[in-house]
């Protein structure tokens, strides 16, 4: 079983497509400084980290499913503006912009529910309807598999990393294992034949 992240990185999302299930129950403790409230995209100057503020900040100690998003900041607007700035010239931005903007206007209070909504947005955008989702605690819980962190997400040990055209590839070179949102905005549904071959390579 895989942790549910904020717009998971490509390797994490690929694992979910191949055989695993994302944990939508969240009984395990919340992991600080993890991808549970972070995603990494491609900015004009390099990797762009988007972080969702959490009630309690670094002192939060509770199960993932109980973690609340801090509503005292305008993080939704900030994240949307960062995405629009970084991907405004990407091939598929305007195809997905309206639905993505609507997602960022959604008033989710719990981090887990927000992350699930992001995952479902990606599925719908890529035309995927077969991923297994757990909506209640399983009778025989599966262990949560270790995943990469914002510190080591691009380490070759997590690869091989699929390559595809990126917005700033001529300036920055290829940035591996970014959020699946990068793939959606650069490749979109028309890139699914490529993505299926990536799944086979990572199997």
What is the tens place of the pLDDT at every residue in 165-195? 999 999 999 999 999 999 999 998 877 776 5
Within 10 Å of residue 22's Cβ, how many Cβ atoms? 22
d(CA 179, CA 10): 6
**3-class DSSP state of 203:** coil
The pLDDT assigned to 198 comes to 54
The pLDDT assigned to 200 comes to 45
User: Which of the pair, 131 or 171, is modelled with greater confidence?
Assistant: 171
Phi and psi for 90 in degrees, rounded to 5?
Answer: -75, 155
In the chain, what is the straight-line distance between the N-terminal and C-terminal CA atoms, in Å? 15
What pLDDT, in 10s, does the model give residues 101-111? 999 999 999 99
Answer for the pair 180, 10: CB distance below 8 angstroms, yes or no.
yes
d(CA 186, CA 90): 6
The pLDDT assigned to 201 comes to 47
Answer for the pair 69, 113: CB distance below 8 angstroms, yes or no.
no
d(CA 148, CA 11): 9
Strands (DSSP E) found in the chain: 38-43, 46-51
d(CA 86, CA 84): 6
What pLDDT, in 10s, does the model give residues 47-75? 999 999 999 766 677 889 999 999 889 99
Percent of the chain with pLDDT over 70: 85
Label residue 45 by pLDDT band (50, 70, 90). Answer: very high
Task: Kindly report the pTM of this predicted structure.
Answer: 0.89
- DSSP, residue by residue, 145-184: PP---TTTTT-GGG-PPP----TTHHHH---TT-BHHHHH
The pLDDT assigned to 58 comes to 66
d(CA 163, CA 188): 14
For residue 134, pLDDT over 70 is answered with: no
């Amino acid at each position: 079983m895989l942790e549910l992240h904020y717009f998971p990185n490509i390797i994490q999302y690929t694992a979910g497509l191949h055989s695993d299930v994302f944990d939508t129950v969240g009984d395990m403790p919340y992991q600080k400084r993890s991808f549970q409230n972070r995603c990494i995209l491609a900015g004009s100057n390099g990797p762009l980290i988007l972080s969702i503020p959490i009630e309690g900040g670094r002192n939060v100690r509770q199960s993932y499913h109980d973690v609340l998003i801090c509503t005292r900041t305008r993080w939704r607007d900030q994240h949307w503006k960062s995405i629009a700035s970084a991907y405004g010239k990407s091939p598929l931005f305007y195809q997905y912009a309206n639905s993505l903007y609507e997602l960022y206007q959604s008033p989710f209070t719990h981090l887990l529910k927000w992350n699930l909504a992001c995952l479902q947005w990606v599925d719908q955008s890529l035309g995927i309807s077969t991923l297994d989702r757990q909506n209640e605690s399983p009778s025989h819980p599966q262990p949560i598999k270790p995943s990469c962190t914002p510190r080591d997400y691009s380490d070759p040990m997590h690869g091989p990393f699929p390559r595809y055209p990126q917005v700033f590839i001529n300036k920055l070179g290829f940035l591996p294992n970014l959020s699946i949102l990068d793939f959606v905005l650069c490749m979109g549904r028309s890139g699914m034949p490529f993505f299926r071959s990536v799944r086979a390579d990572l199997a």
